[in-house]
Amino acid sequence: MAEAIYKGKRSGFVAGTGLPEISTALDSVRAYQFEVHFEEITPGVPQSWTLAAKQVSQVGFSVEDIVVDRVNDKMYYPGKASPEEITITFDNLYHPDVSEELFDIFKDTYDPMTGEIESNAPPAGNTQFKANKMSIYTLKNDSALHQVIECYGVYMKSWKSAEFNYSTNDFHTIECVFRYDFMNVLMA
């Protein structure tokens, strides 16, 4: 396919008759074109939250193998599926106070002052500490939506402040690790 596009667009070019037509059919999604959205962080409270994320780790699922040993061979079958952790590095903005907001979400998972999951948690079976959905939007070159990776049943597993250092001129960040129950990938 790439060869056909290359030959079709370039072979008819004659020098001095204008610029050649440049194909964008083979462009890829850029790694820096994304947004992170949280929806319904507190169950039952419809709200949406978009943060300045500097980096998002790989998002995905993996399936363990079930190995069946036979007399002279092995057979493999798909086994238990498990989601991977997502690490997101957020810019530590003054307004809104991202550090405090993210730490409040972390305290819903584990409050270091009391050693508990949120003190006003509902009865067993309901998950007060999980956000309904976290979506990672990938964008095209013109900022139009390309794809959405939706993660459901998200909770924060780790909150880490970046290093403080006089010898650097970088912006300060907060690194958070999230766990989720399942995911879906939607094309725009």
7 is a domain residue: no
Number of domains in the chain: 1
The model's pLDDT over 38-78, given as tens digits with 9 standing for 90+, comes to 887 666 666 777 777 889 999 998 999 999 998 899 999 99
16 is a domain residue: no
Long-range contact set of residues 38-45: C-beta below 8 Å, sequence gap at least 24: 38/131, 38/133, 38/134, 38/154, 39/131, 39/132, 39/133, 39/134, 39/135, 40/131, 40/132, 40/133, 41/105, 41/131, 41/132, 42/128, 43/126, 43/127, 43/128, 43/130, 43/132
Q: What is the pTM of this model?
A: 0.73
89 is a domain residue: yes
Give the domain range for residue 125: 23-187
The model's pLDDT over 74-119, given as tens digits with 9 standing for 90+, comes to 999 999 999 999 999 988 887 777 888 888 888 878 888 888 775 4
12 is a domain residue: no
CATH number for the domain that contains residue 146:
2.30.110.20
